[in-house]
Structure 1
Amino acid sequence: MVNKPDIYACFEAVTATWQYVVADPETQDAVVIDSVLDFNPVSSQISTNTADGLLDLISKNNLTIVRILETHAHADHLTAANYLQQKLVSQGSPRPDICIGARITEVQATFASKYQINVSELANVFDKLFQDNEEFMIGEIRAKVLHLPGHTPDHVGYQIGENVFTGDSIFNPDVGSARADFPGGSATALYASTQTLLDLPQNYRLYVGHDYPPESRTGNESGVKHKPYTTVKEQKEENKHVKTGTEEEEFVKFRLERDAVLGEPKLLHQSLQFNIRAGKLPETTEGGDMFLHIPVKASKELVSLMRGFKL
């Protein structure tokens, strides 16, 4: 008999992120998926309340974290992967590998250039780069890596039993789909990834990376509107962007038009620089500071004027 995993879903409200701890109930081995490190963009202060909540959950349930999994280099929150790894080791636990899809190297190259990050800061920051369809064990439970590009080129999902942790490759049916306009993103690839998920057995659960409930969604008995998952069947019948019958051309047209009017995520620049480092802190300057770079934007006319160029 194959063990069914215990799944602990933890919602982080500031960035609307679902974090997951998935465990084999027999061995108590577990993984963490898409953890969040708190960040205040006004003060640039990092804190660990959310990640410490995961550590408390892990401790209370006597779990051993064997891997820390990332679905992609997130652009809307900072990962707690490195913090969790170091904290677990300091508490006497075995060192869990930080894992992500192998195409993270493409994303690292893109943003190391954009933000002028020394490539030495990115060397071996991830312990394991997964290949497409690679399998690994969580105790006695088999897990499989699914390449789900579109939102980002490195994006993967994790199939664990009859559950898939989809990251930002699909959202709950009344939310639909994620943007596909980041570097290397593709609405066409995103459509294909949604079809990969919708081709799974109808009873499979698709756990999402974020949830942004519309006003029309009713809450549960406790009034909570946020939902970590729906089934493949529900997605095929109800997803407002990719339900059964939605053609690729229709989806791509919608997604491109929608993305064209979306603003940048609030933590875009901080998140990308931090997350391509697997959550490791930037190098400290001689003055004792650590920096994440924020681009300044101005019109060409304003730049020319302020730099004393002739218009």
Structure 2
Amino acid sequence: MSLQATIIDSALDYESNSGNITFDFAHTQIEFIKQHNLTLVWILETHAHADHLSAAHYLRSQLGGKIAIGKYIIQAQQTFKDIFALSDTEISVSGKEFDQLLSHNDTLFIGDTAIKVIETPGHTKDSVTYLIEDNAFIGDTLFMPDSGSARCDFPGGAASELYQSVKRLYALADHTKLWMCHDYQPNGRQLQFQTTVAESKLSNIHITKDVSLDHFVSIRQTRDSKLAVPRLLYPALQVNIKAGELPQADEHQPAFFKIPVHILRHIVQTEDVK
């Protein structure tokens, strides 16, 4: 039996109100690896998340291993380099911050166990799924059947692509376990984080096996038009497009995140008083 391991979609602890970043959750993973005498081989990202800060860079510094993500992270880097006005020294737009960029049908290994890479864009262009035996780690492609599917209104996202990606997942064996990144617990039900291909094909509220492309795109676009910006969008993306590397402080200043400011002016038209 191999003692090699992988960590998928790691996270730092970040308090947006104070700016404090800690490593408590990452340390639980580090301790587990050490206690079981495991060797961390791969630190995998399903995509550049917009709702948490990746711990990939920190984990690699503590345990070694290689950080990998879908090859279209390069497009995300270019997009957000422009949005955040990042310099050439702050971001590469070549993906070199990651150890390996992945394509559809690439295969990685932990010991003798294969990790098959499945491109599943739609939520973001760089989204991939990792299939390990009968376990699919699907990122933000689908949620639990009573929650539906992921938003597609981020730069590079497309509801039509997400539809094709879900169909790709639905082509897996029915017993394949789908592991969630999120669960929004509709109606206050207990937390859940795993369903199956069969269950999702049968009862996902946005996309069962019989839902048409046009119907799904309509559902997604209507829903996306009403969604708020994720609370951690701006700090998360500045870290995650750089494989979890935090902004650097200099000798005179602390580190900062950049937050774009949108000035919205409400214009009131009045009639001239004669």
Whether the TM-score (by the shorter chain) exceeds 0.5 is: yes
- The match for 2:253 is 288
Shift of 1:97: 0.5
Q: Which runs of 5+ in 1 are unaligned?
A: 1-25, 89-94, 218-224, 303-311
CA displacement 1:103-129 (0-9 Å, x = unmatched):
100000000111011232333211111
CA displacement 1:211-251 (0-9 Å, x = unmatched):
1111263xxxxxxx222211111111111111121111111
- The match for 1:169 is 141
Secondary structure, aligned partner of 2:74: helix
Of 53, 56, 63, the match for 2:28: 53
Identity of aligned residues (%): 42
- The match for 1:159 is 131
Question: What amino acid sits opposite 2:157 in the alignment?
Answer: G
Indicate yes or no: 2:107 matched with 1:138.
Answer: no
Indicate yes or no: 2:234 matched with 1:269.
Answer: yes
- Please give the alpha-carbon distance, in whole angstroms, between the structure 1 residues aligned to 2:31 and 2:6: 14
- Please give the alpha-carbon distance, in whole angstroms, between the structure 1 residues aligned to 2:188 and 2:230: 24
- The match for 1:3 is none
- The match for 1:18 is none
Shift of 1:209: 1.2
Shift of 1:149: 0.3
Question: What amino acid sits opposite 2:5 in the alignment?
Answer: A
Between the two proteins, the alignment pairs up a number of residues equal to: 264
- The match for 1:279 is 244
Question: What amino acid sits opposite 1:215 in the alignment?
Answer: N
Note the aligned Cα RMSD (angstroms): 1.3
- The match for 2:183 is 211
Indicate yes or no: 2:193 matched with 1:228.
Answer: yes
Shift of 1:300: 4.1
Of 295, 298, 302, the match for 2:263: 298
Which residues in structure 2 correspond to 1:36-51 (within 5 Å)?
36-51=11-26
Of 49, 61, 68, the match for 1:74: 49
- The match for 1:192 is 164
Any runs of at least 4 consecutive aligned residues in structure 1 with deviations exceeding 3 A, and if so which? none
Of 150, 160, 179, the match for 2:122: 150
Q: Which runs of 5+ in 2 are unaligned?
A: 268-274
Secondary structure, aligned partner of 1:32: strand
- Please give the alpha-carbon distance, in whole angstroms, between the structure 2 residues aligned to 1:278 and 1:291: 17
- Please give the alpha-carbon distance, in whole angstroms, between the structure 2 residues aligned to 1:131 and 1:193: 14
Of 218, 230, 235, the match for 1:253: 218
Shift of 1:182: 0.1
- Please give the alpha-carbon distance, in whole angstroms, between the structure 1 residues aligned to 2:16 and 2:142: 27
CA displacement 1:154-208 (0-9 Å, x = unmatched):
1111011111100001111111101000001001101111111011110111111
Shift of 1:286: 5.0
Secondary structure, aligned partner of 2:69: strand
Question: What amino acid sits opposite 2:58 in the alignment?
Answer: Y
Of 84, 103, 115, the match for 2:72: 103
Secondary structure, aligned partner of 1:30: strand
Question: What amino acid sits opposite 2:108 in the alignment?
Answer: F
Question: What amino acid sits opposite 1:274 in the alignment?
Answer: V
